[in-house]
Chains A and B, each alone.
Chain A
Amino acid sequence: MVSRSIRSPVLGYSDRSTVKLDYDRVPLRIVKFWSRRACDWFKLEGYIIFESSRNSFHVVYNRPVTWRRNMHIISWIAVESQLGKLRDYVLMQVIKESSTLRVGPKFKKHSPRIIYRYGKQDRQIREFLEMRKTIDHVSKNL
């Protein structure tokens, strides 16, 4: 018989047209460097950085792209930056065929907070922030 004790699952935002990255155990200056470099190289218009926990950051870019282009961009960053954790994240997204970032709280970790913005924020970033608001509302009412 399965126990009925309830713990909440993790809530996240998932899609295929937004370029999203999850940097685990990476200093902020490295995250800023690679975010800026990818933004300029692939003309992604702008980005936003969230702090998910100490030395862990999420990056969301503004320009919508196809899934094929999305995979090209995040794989390029993972290979060029030589960050092992980022490479694992990219492989997971390829397996799932959609990219996901955590939005709600996760056990002892708080919801990711905005810490840095650069460039335009009017397309995918705006959609992401709207969905984040919805998910926040959902997780508060659980």
Chain B
Amino acid sequence: MAKKIESWSRYGRVSVTRDKKGRFVHWELYVEALIRKIYYGKAIAVYGIGVNRFGRASRRYEFFGVGRELEQAVRRAIHLPPKDRFVSVSAREFLDNPYKYGSEGYWDGVKVDS
């Protein structure tokens, strides 16, 4: 038995179980909450004074996920300060659709509290 994440046109991302010969056994929706549960408590905070079309304010991302995705998400977040003041999202979800969470702009280098 092997579990794999697949993308189905009708249901989006699903977790599919197949046997050794590759025959279909079971499927279930791939819930973001599952990732959140696995990586709960281990997030990278990216914060500062974000300036974009929504204004200049103290803004913050909290990314949870694994190494490479986190790195790519942080690299992407440098150009895209969040739209809201506080965004907590998985790195993969952010990379799939960055403009849902951020807007083009820059981070201003002034004092900010942690």
Contacts and interface: CB of A to CB of B under 8 A. Distances in A.
Nearest to A15: B41
Given A131-B42, A138-B44, A2 B78 contact: no
Contacts of A4: 106
Contact of B44 (A3, A11, A22, A142): A11
Contact of B48 (A2, A10, A22, A98): A10
Contacts of A72: none
A94 to B, nearest CB: 13
A96 interface: yes
B45 interface: yes
A115 interface: no
A9 B104 contact: no
A25 B67 CA distance: 34
B46 A9 contact: yes
A142 B107 CA distance: 14
Q: What class of interface size applies to chain B in its complex with A?
A: 20 to 34
A4 B53 CA distance: 12
Interface stretch (A26-34, A35-43, A75-83, A100-108): A100-108
Which of the four size classes fits the interface of chain A? 35 or more
26 contacts: A2-B106, A6-B79, A7-B106, A7-B107, A7-B108, A8-B78, A9-B48, A9-B50, A9-B78, A10-B114, A12-B44, A13-B45, A14-B43, A14-B44, A15-B43, A88-B113, A92-B113, A96-B60, A100-B114, A127-B42, A131-B44, A134-B67, A135-B44, A137-B67, A139-B74, A142-B75
B98 interface: no
Interface of A is mostly: mixed
A138 B42 contact: no
Given A9-B107, A107-B109, A15 B42 contact: yes
A16 interface: yes
Interface in B82-114: 86, 104-109, 112-114
B114 A102 contact: yes
A8 B51 CA distance: 12
A83 B103 CA distance: 38
B74 A138 contact: yes
Contacts of A131: 42, 44
Task: Please give me the 8 A-B residue pairs with the lowest Cβ-Cβ distance, nearest first.
Answer: A9-B48, A15-B41, A12-B45, A14-B45, A9-B107, A14-B43, A7-B109, A138-B71
